Amino acid sequence: MKKHSEVLREAIEEMIAVGKLPPGHHLDETELAKEFGVSRTPIREALIQLASMGIIVIRPRRGAIVAEIGPQQLIEMFEVMAELEAMCARLAARRMSPAGHATLKATHLACEEARDSADSDAYFYKNEEFHQQIYIGSQNSFLEEQARVLQRRLRPYRRLQLRVRNRVQASFDEHGAVVDAIIEGKGELAAELLRQHIMIQGQRFTDLIASLPKPAGKTA
């Protein structure tokens, strides 16, 4: 059974991922404790966990805020994410079992259902599951762990990407090509397809930057 602080950490992390707590937002322990109906102690423990993951920043004598990522750092993080996922795809094409192929196709089908619902947030969750199946398929537990860590750091931004017009459809189509390459054992093709799927550059980058919420306390 998960500790109370872990459950709270996941709940707060989810609020950050879906934009309820935007970058730069001050996290008041008393307000959070009241919202969740708990004491401040497990809230404080949850915030310490989130700080260790880089999702929030705890400032001495000023409290905690949701981490803000600048454009240059965002590019760098997506570059690393693209390479990690490309490596996962390459290994998955070599190592994924027939059962893994079946699960991957099932998660792809779930993405299709979410796409057809015209709900970008529903697609966001199914999209995460799809990528995680590729991490698992690499059969490299260290690589899987690193990919999951960075995926979590980038959750709010990957979600915003999917709100750009026509991005959900494009994402689904790109998934289909990756699935085919992995199942056919074409490692280099799978790696390149997934790398391009993740990279933000050109118009995709400007669209993402335009969609970012303004940091707390700042106006245009």
Q: What is the pLDDT of residues 97-129, one digit of tens each?
A: 999 999 999 999 999 999 999 888 889 999 999
Residues near 165 by beta carbon (within 8 Å), at least 6 away in sequence: none
Predicted confidence at residue 166, as pLDDT, reads 84
Sign of CA dihedral 187, 97, 134, 162: positive
Average pLDDT, the chain: 88
Among 12-16, 146-150, 190-194, 203-207, the range scoring the smallest mean pLDDT is 203-207
Predicted confidence at residue 212, as pLDDT, reads 65
Predicted confidence at residue 10, as pLDDT, reads 87
Determine the average pLDDT of the residues in 165-190.
95
Sign of CA dihedral 81, 84, 90, 96: negative
Side chain identity at residue 199, one-letter code: M
Model confidence at 187, pLDDT cuts 50, 70, 90, reads very high
CATH 1.20.120.530 domain span(s) along the chain:
71-211
Round to whole Å and give the CA distance between 204 and 197.
11
CATH 1.10.10.10 domain span(s) along the chain:
4-66
Q: Give residue for tokens 């950490």.
A: 9
Q: Is 70 helix (H, G, I), strand (E, B) or coil?
A: coil
Query: Which H/E stretch holds residue 8?
Result: helix 4-17
Predicted confidence at residue 148, as pLDDT, reads 94
The tens digit of pLDDT for each residue in 23-44 reads 889 999 999 999 999 999 999 9
Q: Is the pLDDT of residue 167 over 80?
A: yes
Predicted confidence at residue 84, as pLDDT, reads 97
Round to whole Å and give the CA distance between 151 and 17.
11
Residues near 174 by beta carbon (within 8 Å), at least 6 away in sequence: 193, 196, 197
Q: Is 19 helix (H, G, I), strand (E, B) or coil?
A: coil
Sign of CA dihedral 88, 153, 118, 174: negative
Among 12-21, 81-90, 113-122, 186-195, the range scoring the smallest mean pLDDT is 12-21
Strands lying side by side in the sheet with 56-59: 26-27, 63-66, 56-59
Q: Is the pLDDT of residue 218 over 50?
A: no
Q: Topology of domain 4-66, per CATH?
A: Arc Repressor Mutant, subunit A (1.10.10)
Predicted confidence at residue 137, as pLDDT, reads 98
Report, at the CATH architecture level, how domain 71-211 is classified. Answer: Up-down Bundle (1.20)
* Contact predicate 99/53, CB 8 Å: no
Q: Is the pLDDT of residue 91 over 80?
A: yes
* Contact predicate 55/66, CB 8 Å: yes
The tens digit of pLDDT for each residue in 192-214 reads 999 999 987 566 667 766 766 65
What percent of the chain is modeled with pLDDT above 70? 91
